[in-house]
Structure formats: C-alpha cells, structure tokens
Chain A
C-alpha cells in the first residue's frame, strides 16, 4: 500500500522531454509577466493595464469604464455577459477552496445570467447604478437628484476599492439616444462577489482573462503613442536607456569589442541606427529627443528597434552561455561541497574589493573635476560590486541551506562563512591578498570575473545541476542564474573602471590612489574596532544562515546595521592611509 500522506506531485512525477514539460501545470505566472522581466527603466513601465482587471470585477459580466462628454454614455458600461466565466463554475476552485465563493451565490448568479436577467442584459445599454458591499451602498450618480451619472474614471475608482467577497450591483438600462423609450426591465439587481484576480493557491491570474486581455490597452511599437505616450507611461517593452550590443564573434569565447561602448547607456529609440555613430545617451529625456525616432519614423521603422535582453541590445541569435554545456555534479553532497567553496570565494572577493575601494581617494578632497568624476565613478562601482558579492555569499548559503532542508544532502554542510585562501583567475590561482587598487590589482579582479573564467564557470556547473529534475521542486535555478549573470556585469564594470583610470594607471597612480595606503596594524585602535565589528557581523551571519531564516531575520538586520558602522570606520581609517586588516596571512 502506498502512504496515505502522499508527497506533492512535483516530488513524484518529473517531466523530462519538451512535450512532457509543456503538459505539466506549472504553479505561477510565466516568467515574462514578472516585474523583473520588464525592460523599462526611467519610467516604471506597465506589465499590464490594471484597469483591465476591474473590467471583470463581477463574475459573468464585462464592463468598460467610459469617459464621455455625453452623459448618457459615461460610467461603468456593461459590454458583455460572459456565462463561460470560470468563476461561475464550482470546479474552478477545486484546488483553492479558500477562493471558493459561497455555493448558493454562485449557483444563483449562474442561474440569473443563464436566465431572463442575462438575456435582458444582452440587449441595449446597461450601466452600473449602484454597488453595495459590507452594508454600504455607493451610487454611481452624483448625490443630488437629477445630476448626471459619474464619469468612467471615478466609477472605476469606486470599483477598484472593492474587497474580494460578496457584492451586490444594480444595473440600469439607459436610452441610447435622448428621448428613446427604454423597454422593461429597466433595472436588474444581481448578487455576486468581487472576483479574486489571482488564485491564492498558485498566484496565477484568473482564467477569465483571455490571452492579451490584460495588456490590450497598452500602446504598441508601431503606434504614435509608443513614441510619445501622453502620460509618458508605457508598456514595459519600451526601455528608455539600454546598453549597447556587447558581444562580437559569438561562439564559446565571445570577445568584448570595447568595454566603454559596451558599458555606455545609449538611447533605445535613437533614429540613427548606424553602430559607428552610436553615442552615449544624454541625461534627460528632452536632451535625447532630437536624436530619437520621430512619430512618422516609429510608424514605419519600429521593427528596427532592438530586442533587449538583460538590459542589453541583442541583434543576433542569443547564446545563453556556459550553463548549457556545463558538467553537472553527481550528488547533492558534491554540489553542496562546491557551494561551500564558492561561498568562501565570494567572501574573499568581497573583502579584497572592499579593501581596494578605500585605497581610492575620497572625491570630496580632490579639486580637479575630471579626476573627481573618475573617483566618484570608481568608488561607486567598486562598492556596488562588493555589495553584489556579499549578496552572492548569502545566496550560496541559501542554496546550501535549501539542499540540506530538502534532505537532499546526506549530512549537514552549511553555513559557509570561511574565507578562501586562494583567488582564482589568471594562469594560476594566487594567494589571497589585500591591496590598493593598483593597475595589477585591478587586472587580477578582471581575471577573476572574466566570463567563462573560474567563478562563473563554477556557477554554471551549479546551475546545470540545479536544472536536473531532482532539484526542480526547490526553484533554486534563478538564484544560481543571477549569480552567473552578475559575474558578466562585474567583468564589464571592472573593465570600465580600467578605461576610466587609464590616464592615471601607468604614469600617475598617485593621482587617484591614497599614498601611502597600507594595512592598519592589528594593534591600531581603529583596526581593533573594525575587526571586532567584522567578527560580530560574521557571527550574526553564521547564526542567521544556520537558522535558515533568510528573510527579515533580526540577525541579518543586525549584521546590516553593523556593516554601515564598519563602513564609517573604514572611511576614517582610509583618511589616515590605513586599510582594515581583514586577514593577516597575505604578506602584503
């Protein structure tokens, strides 16, 4: 006999080939609908027009919120009676009993819509007259008698504020022209419920919405609106600023043509598409306007606009690198052991980058504007990369934790907060080292982050392993995929730093480097304070990662607070030409 308490289906049946994968019902909305899939940047961008949700707030009916100068036409107008609405079918809620409306209400509403009221509603112009919920009734007319009905926008606003749960509406039939005699019935009262727009079980948008329905009112690339939306608010397929195409050569060893071009934001809507004339985007929309496609051009040339993936224009077949062919780990123990090493590496690179960061002069103390800009850029980007590596440290630990708690590993393995002894990259790994941001140090950072180099290559193996069916229940792929993608960005960023510092690297490093800059002796009071703070942070993180409470844990919050304190101490020490001696065995 099989156990009564059967595990989830997802732990029993694993789809292998494409038709099998296509047939399995996957929990959640498609990845393309998620906020992080949008390419929009300056303006938020719309994944969908949420007014379209409210058009079907009342099951079985579809409304339009009409604004018009004609009193007869404005308001919440009924467009369609849709008896195929899945909310009217009790079996829709078989897997989500908490979303199930009251069975009586469901059957009564279905009966009404199939019966005479439904037939009457299919004729003539019907508008919502009033809405009742929780003992309150709101009229969709202005209060005074004889006043015109509310415009579509306030009517929509009122519908928007309904809560999921029982709702009663009154619909009235209006004449379609002045003086027309409206036949009976002139008013119909329906009891129903405010639709739950997403399933509380899966988060999936209600199946009442047809494909394309939620985005139907957004502007399309071939429309004037796509160029200048009246509310500068457009579909998420309209980015403002993107990064230029980066990869030349393709294949397994793509070459970055020019790190500056690759890292320079350009205007997506630029009219001159000739690559050699592509210039950096200006800082404001107004400044970019002259170089952008005009209305008549967007109508005709919208297909010249580039596809954007990961914030970057892509004109050839997109090659998702490495992860496709990477070798998988045989067991979850092997995978976790690798993650332990990777976490140690993440920890090491964070420290090396942070140490190097404070070797760069404080821009506030420099007079030359060009140098000041360069210093600001370098410090900002270095800090960004270091923080990103810290996030990876946490993600690597999360991966370990998830593997352990799914009982995929045979023994407890994490957390991993050690510091690696050797740094990969270059021809041979080098001993870990705390150094200022000299030319050589910068090159060694570039080597580490090089695509298909050591670090992202290792994650590609992790990713390939996590794509195996046995890990599919854990949904960890995304974490590993983001680490791989970040690596590519770090590489570009370091190369940009290299270009920005080019005027100084060889001939005049003292222009941008603190001189002297060296490790503070351990006995130095500032160093002692910093190291104590650092030890506390690691202690907090160790405990937090052990508990596995990865979000909102007070320990993580504590550690974060202490990181800000540590940053302040690091700045103080840097002003004295000293760096925090995170480790002492590097002979530097």
Chain B
C-alpha cells in the first residue's frame, strides 16, 4: 500500500516526491491528524496515532471510514462569475519614499500618475453591473490614494448611487500610509464603514527606518497624528495595521505591541519577498528565524487570550478563523477570480501587486474584463498543478503562495509556511480547549 501519510515532528521537512499526501500527523501531548482534503482536523487517541505513524493500513482505513467523505472542491470547469471586489489604483504616486515598496512609490516601475475620474466610474459601473445583487467591495489603493482625494470621494458617492439603483450593497476599503488624512477624510471612512489598512511597520524607530516622508521627517509620527481622531473614534470603520518585515529586523512581537500601544486593535505582518531594494528581501536562512519570531508573538497573544482578551495579531486570528471553518482552497487568494485591480490608466490586473505587469493583464475598462484570461490564469495557478505544491500537505491551506511573489521570486519560504501552519493547528486545538467562544463569536471588536 502506498504511504500517503506525511509525518513531521518538531521542525519540518520538504514534501517528499510521490503521490499527494492525504493525512498530516502532528505528534505531541495530544496527537492530531490533519486530513488534507477538506482541511479537517482530528484529535487522536495515542495508540491509534502510533498505529497511523507506523503506517498500519488498517488504522488508516479506519480513520478514513470514520471521518467520511471530504467536502467537494470548487468546480474549475464552471464559468467564473464576475468579480465582487475591485481595487482602484487611484494614485500611482506616494508622498512617502519607503525603500522597499513593491509598488515603487506607487509607480509600479512606470510613471507617477493619478487615475482620471472617468476610469474610476467606468470600473465601478462594470463592478456593479456584474454583481447581480451580491454585495460588492470597492477598494482604493496606490501609491497613496489620498493624493487623489477627489476621485475617491466621487467614486464613493457614485458607487453608492449605482448600488442602490441595482439593488446591491457596497463596502469600501482603503490601503493608506495614514499620513494625509484630514477631518473630512476621517468622516468619510467612519460613515461608510471603510476597512482601513494602514501600512506601518511598528513603533517610530522601527517604522521610520524605511518609511520616511520625502525630506526625511518621521512617517510614524505623521501617520499617528493624522490617524488619531479615527483611532479614537472609528465609527463604523475598521482599522488594521499592516507591518512589512525586512530581513534586517525579523522581530514580530515588538511590532505588534508597539502598534497596539498606538491604538490599533488588528495588527498583521508580512515578510518582504520582492522589492526594488534586493538587500532587504528575506533570504533562505532568514525563514527559520522569522518562524521563531512569529511563534514568539503568537505565544504572547496566547497569554493575553488566557487573560480573557480577544485577538489582535491578525495573522494568527485569520489562521484560526480559517482552520476553524476548515477552509480548503486551491488558490492563495481571490485574485483574478473574485477580485481584480484597476491601474490608473484603466487596465485590469490580477491584483494590486501586479499592476502594469503585462503577465497579469486581464483587459481594460474600455474593452472590458476578459473572462477567458481570468479563467486561464486561475486554471494555470491551481495548486494541484504547481510543483512542489502538489505533494505538500499544506497545499490547500496555503494555496500555493502569492502569485505575484511566486512568479517574480519563486517559492522561498515553504518550510516557514508549513511550520507556521503546523504551529497554528496546535494553537487551534489549545484555543478550542480554553477559549472556544473566541472561535464562535464575532471577532470584529476584540477587547
């Protein structure tokens, strides 16, 4: 019988060649089995776990018989519905000059430009017409979107009006460096319940190393000054901080704490994989250290949870939510499927990371969004068609990694991702024992 079980102890190994594993066993005080199909997690009695570890075919058969069939995977042959979310790159220009920015200060390698209003309105028309009554999300990105304030305001009004006409609802999001918000902006974000993602890397010292205003002023102080009214009273808005981790400082917990002290209640981090400045990008030897730092931050979070608090470290919170729901996805994100991004000149791209990269072009607002291009992109990115993803136990949790990063920089941090996911599976089990309510109640407003 073919061994289809993948076993790891502490640390992790690269996936073995051969058929895709169906089970991932996680030893420890309370042994766990993760069934790859359907992302189903089970706790096992020790002897039974031991039998599975030794490859006892009877035990394996018993496990599959007891756990039933996996939920069905999405059908990739059916026609794609129109996207329910777009982001408008309304300002391919930025007032900061962060040295690692993937968007190259918003220019994405091209010329600095602002999106004309008619491009924005045309993209909104297409989004809402394609929604057929579903809820849609309109995002504003850049560069720094508040540099093109007028287009943002008029787009919001227009989207609300059109959505009402067509009987759908619309939500808004914005990714900003937070330095330019005025009082009216704060009201806009509050009143329309914006999901606001603020790019900040940690406390002032950490943040300002790379995120400096043009002219050298502190980006951190500038951002906090302008964000303070919103952080103090978010209204319907939901504000999250997102920190980029460059290779010269891999610490995580300190950033989370500093941003929490600054008033953020949701804080996420992401490692730098592609950048115009290659010296800041994480290299092979950095990943194990980053994993240690992530786990350290998560353990701090655990102590807070035991004291009755909710989540604030959003990498962990999101993982818990997805593991709880048994999310099993053959793609890393909704890009090109449920979500596309529009460049300042009206080009559709698979996401905000791939603006103006012709490998990811999907049409134009003038000519329309190409369903054929989207379908062929998605099919080619299916995780079961990727190597070495095909034989990795974590493939449906990870989805194969960010398309933009993988296609530009390859798959570097797979062991890190597996290590983090395995840690999260253990964490989930702990959470289920000690604070199951956190998984069942809304996590919108953690304490």
Instruction: Name the residue of chain A whose CB is nearest to the CB of B327.
Output: A19
B333 at the interface (CB under 8 A from A): no
Proximity string of chain A (1-38) to chain B, C-beta cutoff 8 Å, 1 when within and 0 when not: 01100010101111111111011110000000000000
Q: How far does the Cβ of B239 sit from chain A's closest Cβ, in whole Å?
A: 22
Q: How far does the Cβ of A586 sit from chain B's closest Cβ, in whole Å?
A: 37
CB pair B66–A13 under 8 Å, yes or no, is: yes
Instruction: Name the residue of chain A whose CB is nearest to the CB of B320.
Output: A17
CB pair A18–B325 under 8 Å, yes or no, is: yes
CA distance A570 to B183 in the complex (A): 74
A467 at the interface (CB under 8 A from B): yes
Taking CB atoms, residues of chain B closer than 8 Å to A25 are 66, 68
B360 at the interface (CB under 8 A from A): no
Q: How far does the Cβ of A25 sit from chain B's closest Cβ, in whole Å?
A: 6
| Stretch among B44-52, B366-374, B383-391 lining the A interface | B44-52
CB pair B67–A23 under 8 Å, yes or no, is: yes
CB pair B437–A324 under 8 Å, yes or no, is: yes
Instruction: Name the residue of chain B whose CB is nearest to the CB of A15.
Output: B42
A484 at the interface (CB under 8 A from B): no
CB pair A23–B47 under 8 Å, yes or no, is: no
CB pair A16–B434 under 8 Å, yes or no, is: no
Taking CB atoms, residues of chain A closer than 8 Å to B323 are 17
Instruction: Name the residue of chain B whose CB is nearest to the CB of A22.
Output: B71
| Stretch among B33-41, B151-159, B343-351 lining the A interface | B33-41
CB pair A16–B432 under 8 Å, yes or no, is: yes
A84 at the interface (CB under 8 A from B): no
CA distance A20 to B66 in the complex (A): 11
CB pair A324–B45 under 8 Å, yes or no, is: no
Taking CB atoms, residues of chain B closer than 8 Å to A12 are 44-45, 48, 66
CB pair A19–B436 under 8 Å, yes or no, is: no
CB pair B433–A468 under 8 Å, yes or no, is: yes
Q: Which of B63, B66, B325, B434 contacts A19 (CB 8 A)?
A: B325
CB pair B436–A13 under 8 Å, yes or no, is: no
Number of chain A residues whose Cβ lies closer than 8 Å to a Cβ of chain B: 27
CB pair B66–A9 under 8 Å, yes or no, is: yes
Q: Which of A3, A16, A326 contacts B41 (CB 8 A)?
A: A16
Q: State whether A16 and B428 are in contact (beta carbons under 8 Å apart), knowing that A22-B71, A23-B69, A324-B441 are contacts in the complex.
A: yes
CB pair B42–A14 under 8 Å, yes or no, is: yes
Q: Is chain A's binding surface mostly helix, strand, loop or mixed?
A: loop
CB pair B67–A20 under 8 Å, yes or no, is: yes
Most buried by A among B66, B71, B323, B438: B66
CA distance A2 to B56 in the complex (A): 10
B324 at the interface (CB under 8 A from A): yes
Q: Which residues 347-380 of B sit at the A interface, judged by CB distance below 8 A?
A: none
CB pair A17–B68 under 8 Å, yes or no, is: no
CB pair B68–A2 under 8 Å, yes or no, is: no
Q: State whether A16 and B429 are in contact (beta carbons under 8 Å apart), knowing that A2-B56, A25-B68 are contacts in the complex.
A: yes
Instruction: Name the residue of chain A whose CB is nearest to the CB of B65.
Output: A9
Q: Which of A13, A17, A328 contacts B63 (CB 8 A)?
A: A13
Q: How far does the Cβ of A323 sit from chain B's closest Cβ, in whole Å?
A: 8
Taking CB atoms, residues of chain B closer than 8 Å to A19 are 38-40, 70-71, 325-326, 328
B43 at the interface (CB under 8 A from A): yes
CA distance A585 to B323 in the complex (A): 55
CB pair B436–A467 under 8 Å, yes or no, is: yes
Q: How far does the Cβ of A133 sit from chain B's closest Cβ, in whole Å?
A: 36
CA distance A12 to B69 in the complex (A): 18
A235 at the interface (CB under 8 A from B): no
A327 at the interface (CB under 8 A from B): yes
B191 at the interface (CB under 8 A from A): no
CA distance A12 to B46 in the complex (A): 8
Q: Which of B38, B45, B56, B324 contacts A13 (CB 8 A)?
A: B45
B160 at the interface (CB under 8 A from A): no
Q: Which of B325, B433, B438 contacts A17 (CB 8 A)?
A: B325
Instruction: Name the residue of chain B whose CB is nearest to the CB of A465.
Output: B433
A469 at the interface (CB under 8 A from B): yes
Q: How far does the Cβ of B422 sit from chain A's closest Cβ, in whole Å?
A: 14
Taking CB atoms, residues of chain A closer than 8 Å to B47 are 2-3
Q: How far does the Cβ of A461 sit from chain B's closest Cβ, in whole Å?
A: 12
Taking CB atoms, residues of chain A closer than 8 Å to B328 are 19
CB pair A17–B428 under 8 Å, yes or no, is: yes
CA distance A5 to B216 in the complex (A): 74
B29 at the interface (CB under 8 A from A): no
A464 at the interface (CB under 8 A from B): yes
Proximity string of chain A (84-125) to chain B, C-beta cutoff 8 Å, 1 when within and 0 when not: 000000000000000000000000000000000000000000
Instruction: Name the residue of chain B whose CB is nearest to the CB of A322.
Output: B437
CA distance A18 to B35 in the complex (A): 13
Proximity string of chain A (317-351) to chain B, C-beta cutoff 8 Å, 1 when within and 0 when not: 00000001111100000000000000000000000
CA distance A281 to B102 in the complex (A): 68
Instruction: Name the residue of chain A whose CB is nearest to the CB of B58.
Output: A2
CB pair A20–B45 under 8 Å, yes or no, is: no
CB pair A327–B434 under 8 Å, yes or no, is: yes
Taking CB atoms, residues of chain A closer than 8 Å to B63 are 13
Q: How far does the Cβ of A94 sit from chain B's closest Cβ, in whole Å?
A: 11
CB pair B40–A324 under 8 Å, yes or no, is: no
Q: How far does the Cβ of B74 sit from chain A's closest Cβ, in whole Å?
A: 14
CB pair B434–A17 under 8 Å, yes or no, is: no
Q: Which residues 396-447 of B sit at the A interface, judged by CB distance below 8 A?
A: 428-429, 432-438, 440-441
CB pair A20–B326 under 8 Å, yes or no, is: yes
Instruction: Name the residue of chain B whose CB is nearest to the CB of A11.
Output: B45
Taking CB atoms, residues of chain A closer than 8 Å to B428 are 16-17
Instruction: Name the residue of chain A whose CB is nearest to the CB of B56.
Output: A2
Instruction: Name the residue of chain A whose CB is nearest to the CB of B59.
Output: A2
Q: State whether A20 and B40 are in contact (beta carbons under 8 Å apart), knowing that A13-B63, A324-B441, A328-B433 are contacts in the complex.
A: yes
B161 at the interface (CB under 8 A from A): no
Q: How far does the Cβ of A62 sit from chain B's closest Cβ, in whole Å?
A: 27
CA distance A13 to B433 in the complex (A): 16
CB pair B71–A13 under 8 Å, yes or no, is: no
Taking CB atoms, residues of chain A closer than 8 Å to B59 are 2
Q: How far does the Cβ of A355 sit from chain B's closest Cβ, in whole Å?
A: 38
CA distance A496 to B268 in the complex (A): 51
CA distance A24 to B429 in the complex (A): 18
CB pair B326–A14 under 8 Å, yes or no, is: no
Instruction: Name the residue of chain B whose CB is nearest to the CB of A324.
Output: B437
Instruction: Name the residue of chain B whose CB is nearest to the CB of A323.
Output: B437
CB pair B42–A325 under 8 Å, yes or no, is: no
Q: State whether A325 and B62 are in contact (beta carbons under 8 Å apart), knowing that A2-B56, A14-B42, A18-B326 are contacts in the complex.
A: no
Q: Which of A7, A20, A23, A324 contacts B436 (CB 8 A)?
A: A324
CA distance A25 to B67 in the complex (A): 7
Q: Which residues 465-481 of A sit at the B interface, judged by CB distance below 8 A?
A: 467-469
CB pair B326–A24 under 8 Å, yes or no, is: no
Taking CB atoms, residues of chain A closer than 8 Å to B435 are 325
Instruction: Name the residue of chain A whose CB is nearest to the CB of B50.
Output: A2
Q: State whether A14 and B69 are in contact (beta carbons under 8 Å apart), knowing that A23-B38, A324-B441, A464-B436 are contacts in the complex.
A: no
Taking CB atoms, residues of chain A closer than 8 Å to B324 are 17-18
Taking CB atoms, residues of chain B closer than 8 Å to A2 are 47-48, 51, 56, 59
CB pair B66–A24 under 8 Å, yes or no, is: yes
CA distance A17 to B51 in the complex (A): 23
Q: How far does the Cβ of A216 sit from chain B's closest Cβ, in whole Å?
A: 27
Taking CB atoms, residues of chain A closer than 8 Å to B62 are 9
Taking CB atoms, residues of chain B closer than 8 Å to A9 are 62, 66
CA distance A325 to B436 in the complex (A): 7
CA distance A3 to B435 in the complex (A): 35
CB pair B67–A325 under 8 Å, yes or no, is: no
CB pair B67–A24 under 8 Å, yes or no, is: yes
CA distance A18 to B321 in the complex (A): 10
Proximity string of chain B (68-80) to chain A, C-beta cutoff 8 Å, 1 when within and 0 when not: 1111000000000
Known: A15-B40, A16-B42, A24-B66. 16 other contacts (CB 8 A): A2-B59, A11-B45, A13-B45, A16-B432, A17-B39, A18-B325, A19-B325, A20-B35, A20-B40, A20-B41, A23-B40, A23-B67, A23-B69, A24-B67, A25-B66, A325-B438
Sample of 12 A–B contacts (CB below 8 Å): A2-B47, A2-B59, A11-B45, A14-B43, A14-B44, A17-B428, A19-B326, A20-B38, A22-B326, A23-B38, A324-B440, A464-B437
Sort A-B residue pairs by CB-CB distance and give the 6 closest, nearest first. Answer: A19-B326, A324-B437, A325-B437, A20-B40, A23-B68, A14-B43
